[in-house]
Amino acid sequence: MSNKPNPLKAIQEKLRSLFAGTESKSDKKPGAPKPFLNIWTVMIIFCGLVFLQQPFFAPKRQTIPYSQFKQSMAEGNVDDIVISPETIEGMLRGTPGQKFVTVRVNDPGLAKEMDERNIRYAGRTENRFWGYLLSWVLPLGFFFLIWRFTAKNMGGGMGVMSFGKNKAKIFAESDTKISFEDVAGIDEAREELEEVVDFLTTPEKFQKLGGRIPKGVLLVGPPGTGKTLLAKAVAGEAKVPFFSINGSEFVEMFVGVGAARVRDLFSQAAGQAPCIIFIDELDALGKARGMNAMGGHDEREQTLNQLLVEMDGFGTNKGVIIMAATNRPEILDPALLRPGRLDRQVLVDRPDINGREAILKIHSRHVVLGDDVDLGKIAGRTPGFVGADLANIVNESALLAARSNKEVVESSDFDEAIDRVIGGLQKKNRVMNAHEKEIVTFHESGHAIVAESVNLADPVHKISILPRGIAALGYTQQQPTEDRYLMTRSELLDRLAVLLGGRVAEELVFNEISTGAQNDLQRATDIIRSMVAEYGMSDRIGLVSYERQRTPMFLPQGYSSEKNYSDESSARIDEEVSLMMEEAHRRVHKILSNKRALLDKLAALLSKQETVRGDELRAMMNS
């Protein structure tokens, strides 16, 4: 027997092993080698099989013309003839084992000639079943395998049969390694969610007294405050599976897909109860019904209806707690917020100064800090910052220190990181002419002197004429001494004076004004208009608050031009805003006129150093 390798057999074995070892993308382990099999490999193998079919599958026989067959038969060189409706096959006596085939023609005397020459012959009927199988069924089966392979490797719900599968990321008990130790600055929200952990770990403690475990918790708050982190911490503390999905991943262009995904998600969660389902950005799915401008019962509303049924209905899932997060609670459907669905609403607000310091400690655990770094002072310089902002500052400071080849992260790196986050990237290559630089210098000096001259403004931390961001040619940074939640009329007027300090300084020095005060004037106008139309702080308008347009609760907002009052009231408001602005302008003009020498001295120092610290400014004012 020959040991010569059969190339066809090798190809078949390779194809069998490839199909047996194919995995979908979702089943692959990280770091595993990429599979050899893909759609192009399959096509190449198929073409190779077709090309090799004739030499390897077909019997080895010689095709001869019918005339040659007749001549060989007359010479007595053929035997064992098999006659079929279309062909004549047989053996050649001169060459042992050599078969021949020829196309049959209409020859009525063929049988008589074979009898006369004592040639063995037989007839055969044609069985077309295997021919049809090879020509139709096998190609169809092959292309079906290609389709299955392609749909499987597309993954993520891209296959036609997987539209109704949910796209939730499932974290097992051991995968969720976040705990409450990783959460800081939001102590009240943390305490609320610690009870949820008790519900999941010891439900009998509450059920024996007749209590009902809450079904859902809604986390509301500004972006970046740690809502998703809190949900993961709950799952990590409770040691239960955690299903995480975004609200927008439910809704597709095909009707019914979102509802099917909701059913599939809750079905999986019920099989792994107790567990947590976390829906991030709930407003993408749970917007109040009837808000569709085009009308009709659209796909999003069907998905929301299915979610409401799964959260509360005849098919109640025990041990499944739903957590959701949003920064737009005002647009959610009321049916989502009623008791029995999202029972608890937990506010995850911006951290105070102590919370910011605790957050900075968590994010700097793996950062090598210098001895001069005081996280308490950094927390004081970042009022209004959320956890994501503080994490960004720590990361930026570490990158800046590494860029300068430092061994530790110093306080100056944190200062530069804060300036970068607040004002933007420093424009080192932006060159201003001498006159523009002088205008910017006096402008920022005016802001700083007014801020230190009034009683209720935040103290100055730094003055700089280094351009930053898109349009900032300079900046004056103030550092609050404490977190404030209420503002008095006197405090607002002092803030207004600081904003006008730059514009008034330009008027005093150059007897000219520039476009540099545009943002200052805009912010000053917003303060005065709010004082007049909202806070009732105008003696002429009185104790009236004119309602503003409804705006997002936790997202940035400005004053709306929409009004629900008369034109006469609008004219009175505009007049009062102008009068209060003129009064503030006169006050600032008087302050800077009395301190003109200090203004020139500070501008000269700022022009020389480009940056002046708040301590230097206060030393100049006290000398």
Task: List the catalytic residues.
Answer: 444
3-state SS class at 421:
helix
CB atoms near residue 570 (< 10 Å): 13
| Sequence-ordered list of residues with C-beta below 8 angstroms from that of 365, at least 6 positions apart, any chain | none
Q: d(Cα 451, Cα 466) in Å, to the nearest integer?
A: 20
Structure token pair of residue 165: 């599968």
At residue 278, what is the residue type?
Answer: F
Indicate the pairing of strand 87-92 with strand 99-103: antiparallel
Strands (E), 56-153: 62-63, 78-83, 87-92, 99-103, 121-123
3-state SS class at 488:
coil
In sequence order, the β-bridge partners of residue 246 are 280
At residue 496, what is the residue type?
Answer: L
Contact yes or no for 434/440 (Cβ under 8 A): no
| Sequence-ordered list of residues with C-beta below 8 angstroms from that of 22, at least 6 positions apart, any chain | 35, 37, 149, 152, 153
3-state SS class at 204:
helix
Contact yes or no for 73/64 (Cβ under 8 A): no
HEC sequence for 511-527: CCCCHHHHHHHHHHHHH
Nearest to 517 by CA among 498, 532, 531: 498
Alpha helix (H) residue ranges in 424-474 = 434-453
